[in-house]
Amino acid sequence: MIENVDSIRINFDTNSLWIVNITLAIIMLGVALDITVKDFKNLFNHPKKVFIGILLQFILVPATTLLLVYILKPQASLALGLMMVAACPGGNVSNFMTKLAKGNTALSVSLTAFATAMALFMTPINLAIWASFYQPTASILKEINLNPLEVTKIVLLILGIPLIIGMYINHIKPHFASKLSRILKPVSLLILISFILVAFYKNIDIFNKYIHHAFYLVFLLNSILYMVGFYTAKMAKMSFEDQKTLSIETGIQNSGLGLMLVFLFFQGLGGMALVVAFWGIWDIFSGLVLAYYWSRKSNHKILNV
């Protein structure tokens, strides 16, 4: 008998949502403290890289996700969890992983900044559009009556305001911003990971029973996205450093934002929460493994992933 993942709800203290909101804002602030207007200008000095980055993050990632959903036909809430991940901007830890992989760190930082700024509008739009292409997920959105404008307001609050504040501090106090960033990044990331682990612990019976439904989906999509990013950059004849960078930028998604949206707008819908929460742990692990592997390779030994 097929277990009905769509019917489960994650036990979650809604008061703890403020912890997630504040943590995400602090993570974004930590990232924004390293971002300058020059980072955006640098991207537009390389329009090809901008085009490939936008193509990957906002079109190929959700399109690949939809294709995988059509092929595997997971239960609706699991599919919507994958689409939520795909609608989120690149994960902030991608900058660290790109540096570890000996990729183009400047490009990674610039793409993260650009994707985060675009995500203020593209995250709700992409979730609404791509989820509507698959009838089971479209039904959930219709039932919940998701308002993209409300999602935009939340994303703006969590990502937009910290982005502006962080860039402003960097502009007027660059040395202070650098010191503060080195503190905020690891501390806030540790808090977020701890929050996810606590959520797993509080719902251990549910996770033990249903996590296998999410595991293979997350593993497959995450692996495919790394390859999509790598080979898209390779076909565009970008450097090996840029290929590694775009692979990591494509495979690492801001699941913390996704998890917050799941609890805020979807009342902890079981399959969604399982996928998004597990993604938050898995893509950090897989990204570190991939980055470490690349860090051991010299640049003339191109990895055919």
User: 29, exposed or middle or buried, with CB in 10 Å at 0-12, 13-18, 19+?
Assistant: buried
- Mean pLDDT of each 10-residue bin along the chain, 305 residues long: 64 65 77 74 77 91 96 93 91 80 83 81 89 92 77 78 86 87 78 72 78 90 96 94 93 85 79 86 89 75 45
Q: For residue 131, what pLDDT is reported?
A: 92
Q: For residue 56, what pLDDT is reported?
A: 93
User: What are the residues facing 269 on neighbouring strands?
Assistant: 9
Q: For residue 104, what pLDDT is reported?
A: 85
pTM, rounded to two decimals: 0.83
Q: For residue 14, what pLDDT is reported?
A: 59
The DSSP call for residue 45 is: T
User: What are the residues facing 9 on neighbouring strands?
Assistant: 269
Q: For residue 237, what pLDDT is reported?
A: 92
Q: CA torsion 218→220→221→226, rounded to 10°?
A: 120
Q: For residue 227, what pLDDT is reported?
A: 97
Could you give all domains of the chain from N- to C-terminal order, each with its CATH number? 14-295 (1.20.1530.20)
Q: For residue 1, what pLDDT is reported?
A: 38
